[in-house]
Each structure stands twice: as structure tokens, then as C-alpha cells.
């Protein structure tokens, strides 16, 4: 079926073609062209630039449920992709309303121009509530998003592309977003009216395995006076341990954790055997579970937003957190000696684990809060405290 655009005077210059044959007409924005990807929806009302540069969204088209996008423009400070020259992030974006003109003192460019420069194909003018309901009812959808200013499309060819795309299951996307070489990170979190500053990073040495790491994660480590070394996703355990880290961080990233785990899990198992403190976020958390003997599963609609309630069983507290994942750890699969520490209060899915008697833990959500609430910032201090404990140092307060 074809869903007509909900207006009468603006011609169709973009299409979203779902694998089930549904064709949704819209008005194009951003880059031109066509690309296959998985369609999800995000419920955040702020942080659209951070969302679209989160490498964990590689291979996906983000539908924003918040209708007005673009009002704060775009700037380099809010990019989350580690390599500023890499586009990274999403394949496409969908909005209800046309991209708005910027009205913010931090804006350096119009959001539409920024999307074009990063190769993000977008469309607007559709009923995003209806599309969101469709995803909730039928699951994450494979699709093609296409933008052609002439409005001329080969719809049959686009339907075939959407139907034939293999999807994200079984796909390792980390090679497309990871660092090309080892590098050091020193930038600390942004401060109002001051911007970013650097740390000497003398207290502890953290090596971050980059499966698509976000900048604000690294900033929070630097803000705790840590030296941070970022290494490509395929780096071996021996090469990482040769750097003499005090702790290992397993980053977020896109794709199927089981596929990336083919080469990452053996390295993670080596880290566990070393006795070093380990902290995983999102994809890193999922692969940590695989390394410990657990399983991961593809989710029906995934979790994408900045308003997700998660309970920390270790403190009894409920946090509002940022989420971005279409795969999850099967909590029932965790073996003896691995404790489930966090759960989603939306659907009860696993959101955290730790190993009994070892300084090893991970969380599914994004505690770096970029964008989103800062309820989970304590997890970075929790990790540093594990490092301090193994070095015989006094612990930091978890909240500061």
C-alpha cells in the first residue's frame, strides 16, 4: 500500500519504503540518495545532534517522536563521533515537521546543511506517531529511505532493496565506526561558559576498546583524572595488556553483539582472566555477557530515548536513563556467579550485570547522558573505585 503525504501543495521528494511493501511519502531533507537500514524511533525531546552522531545508530534510520527538530542548529561541540571527519552515526532521519531554523547562541550551522554535509538522508512531513505505532506493533522494520529532489523514484526497485536487505542480525558494524589507530584522549566534560578543557590524566590508566565509542564517555573518564587510551575494536588482549592499563573499558557500538563478539569475546575473556577491573556499556555490556557465558537476543522494538526508568538492584534506586539498543542480554541466560544488577522498568529486560568476587560489571543504558539525564554518572566513579580498590587506594564518593 502507499500512504499519501498529509498535505496538498508540497510535492513528494522523499520516500520511506518498508520491507513489507509499505511506501510512505514525504519531503526530503539533508543528503540525497537512497540507503537500506533498520527503522527505529527515539522519544528524546533534546539532543538530536548527539543522537544522529552516536555510532551505535549505524545501520539505522531514527524516527523522532518529538515534532520540532533543528531549533538549536548544529555545532562541532555536540558531535559524539570520535573521529570528527567520519560521518558515523545514522543512515537516515525522519521528522514530522520541516527542519526549523536555528535560534540558539551555540549554533554554528543550519541543521539541514549539517545533515547534508554528513551524508544523512532525511525526510519530513509524515505522521511519525503512525510510524511509531507501526514499529511498536510489528517490530523494528527493514527499509529504504530515499531522497530525490525531482520526485522521480523507481518504487519497485526500492521495494526489492528493502525486502532483500539482510538486516542487522548477524552483522558486525564495529569496523565501520571504530578508530583506525590507537590514540590518547584527554578532553574533560563541557562546562557552561568555559567549554572543554584537558586533563593531565595522572591518576589511573584506562584502555577503551572502541566499538563505536561516544565522546562524552571518554570525557567523563578524563574528568576523573584518568589517562585514556583508545584502541581499535580488533586489538588483541595481549596488545592491550601490554599497555599496562589499570582498567579496561568496553564501549558502546552498533550491530549484533554476537557477530562482533566473534573476535571481541576472546579478548574480553583474556581481560577477565587478568583480574583487571572491567566496565562495559551497551554493546560492550552485551559482549561482556557473552564472554561470561550468557546470551543476547534481538528485541522487538528496542529501547531508544532519554526517559527510560531503570532500577539498580545494588542500591534499590530507580534512575531515568538514556537508551539506544536493539539487542539485549538474556537475563535468564546469565550463569552462576554473574549477578543481574539493573533491569528496565518498562519491560523487565536486563540492563546490568556484575561478576561475584571480581571487579567486572556492565550496563545496557548510556550513563554518559549525551543526550539525557545524569542519574547514572555514578557508574563512572564506581568503575574508578574498583581500580582504586585493586591499587589499595581510598574510594571516591559515588556521587559528587
pLDDT of residue 85: 66
Are 380 and 224 spatial neighbours (Cβ–Cβ below 8 Å)?
yes
pLDDT of residue 398: 79
Q: Encode pLDDT of 13-41 as tens digits.
A: 999 999 999 999 999 999 999 999 999 99
C-alpha span between 52 and 44 (Å, rounded): 12
pLDDT of residue 46: 93
Model-level pTM?
Answer: 0.96
pLDDT of residue 1: 44
Q: Which position among 124, 282, 303, 319 bears the catalytic label?
A: 282
Q: What angle do CA 219, 357, 347 make, to 5 degrees?
A: 65
**Active-site residue flag, 282:** yes
Pull the grid cell for residue 136. Answer: 511498536
- The CATH class of 2-164 is alpha beta
pLDDT of residue 260: 98
For residue 277, count CB atoms less than 10 angstroms from its CB and return exposed for 0-12, middle for 13-18, buried for 19 or more. buried
Q: Encode pLDDT of 256-267 as tens digits.
A: 999 999 999 999
pLDDT of residue 143: 98
Phi, psi of 320 (to 5 degrees): -100, 125
The mean pLDDT value for 43-68 works out to 96
Distance of CA 58 to the CA centre of its chain: 8
Burial letters 69-97, b for 16+ CB under 10 A, else e:
bbebbbeeebbbbbeeebbbbbbbbbbbe
CB atoms within 10 A of CB 171: 17
Strand, coil or helix: what is 271?
helix
Smallest CA-to-CA distance from 232 within 288, 175, 187, 289 is with: 175
Domain residue extents for the chain: 2-164, 174-390
**Active-site residue flag, 366:** yes
pLDDT of residue 7: 41
Smallest CA-to-CA distance from 309 within 299, 323, 301, 319 is with: 319
CATH placement of domain 174-390: 3.40.50.880
C-alpha span between 31 and 119 (Å, rounded): 5
Kindly give, in sequence order, each residue whose CB lies less than 8 Å from that of residue 233, ignoring residues fewer than 6 positions away.
174, 175, 178, 209, 210, 211, 253, 260, 263, 264
| Higher pLDDT pick, 86 / 350 | 350
pLDDT of residue 6: 46
Amino acid at each position: 500500500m502507499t500512504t499519501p503525504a498529509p498535505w496538498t501543495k508540497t510535492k513528494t521528494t522523499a520516500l520511506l519504503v518498508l520491507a513489507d511493501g509499505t511506501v510512505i511519502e514525504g519531503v526530503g531533507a539533508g543528503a540525497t540518495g537512497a540507503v537500506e537500514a533498520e527503522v527505529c524511533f527515539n522519544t528524546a525531546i533534546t539532543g538530536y545532534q548527539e543522537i544522529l552522531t552516536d555510532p551505535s545508530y549505524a545501520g539505522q534510520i531514527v524516527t523522532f517522536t518529538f515534532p520540532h527538530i533543528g531549533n538549536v542548529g548544529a555545532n562541532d561541540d555536540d558531535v559524539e563521533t570520535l573521529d570528527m571527519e567520519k560521518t558515523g552515526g545514522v543512515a537516515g532521519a525522519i521528522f514530522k515537521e520541516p527542519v526549523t531554523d536555528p535560534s540558539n547562541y551555540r549554533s554554528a550551522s543550519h541543521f539541514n546543511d549539517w545533515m547534508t554535509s554528513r551524508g544523512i538522508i532525511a525526510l519530513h512531513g509524515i505522521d511519525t506517531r503512525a510510524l511509531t505505532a507501526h514499529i511498536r506493533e510489528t517490530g523494528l522494520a527493514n527499509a529504504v529511505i530515499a531522497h530525490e529532489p525531482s520526485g522521480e523514484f523507481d518504487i519497485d526497485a526500492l521495494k526489492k532493496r528493502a525486502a532483500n536487505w539482510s538486516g542487522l542480525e548477524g552483522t558486525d558494524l564495529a569496523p565501520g565506526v571504530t578508530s583506525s589507530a590507537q590514540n590518547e584522549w584527554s578532553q574533560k566534560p563541557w562546562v557552561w561558559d568555559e567549554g572543554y578543557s584537558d586533563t593531565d590524566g595522572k591518576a589511573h590508566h584506562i584502555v577503551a576498546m572502541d566499538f563505536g565509542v561516544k565522546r562524552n564517555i571518554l570525557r567523563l573518564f578524563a574528568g576523573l583524572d584518568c589517562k585514556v587510551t583508545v584502541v581499535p575494536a580488533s586489538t588483541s588482549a595481549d596488545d592491550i595488556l601490554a599497555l599496562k592499563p589499570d582498567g579496561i573499558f568496553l564501549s558502546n557500538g552498533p550491530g549484533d553483539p554476537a557477530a562482533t563478539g566473534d573476535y571481541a569475546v576472546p579478548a574480553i575473556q583474556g581481560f577477565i582472566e587478568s583480574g583487571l577491573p572491567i566496565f562495559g556499556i551497551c554493546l560492550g555490556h552485551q559482549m561482556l555477557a557473552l564472554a561470561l557465558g550468557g546470551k543476547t537476543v534481538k528485541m522487538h522494538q528496542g529501547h531508544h530515548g532519554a526517559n527510560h526508568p531503570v532500577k539498580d538492584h545494588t542500591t534499590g534506586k530507580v534512575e531515568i536513563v538514556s537508551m539506544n539498543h536493539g539487542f539485549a542480554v538474556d537475563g535468564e541466560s546469565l550463569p552462576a556467579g554473574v549477578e543481574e544488577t539493573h533491569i528496565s522498568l518498562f519491560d523487565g529486560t536486563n540492563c546490568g550485570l556484575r561478576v561475584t568476587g571480581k571487579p567486572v560489571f556492565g550496563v545496557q543504558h548510556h550513563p554518559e547522558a549525551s543526550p539525557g539525564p545524569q542519574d547514572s554518572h555514578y557508574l563512572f566513579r564506581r568503575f574508578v573505585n574498583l581500580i582504586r580498590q585493586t591499587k589499595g587506594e581510598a574510594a571516591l564518593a559515588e556521587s559528587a
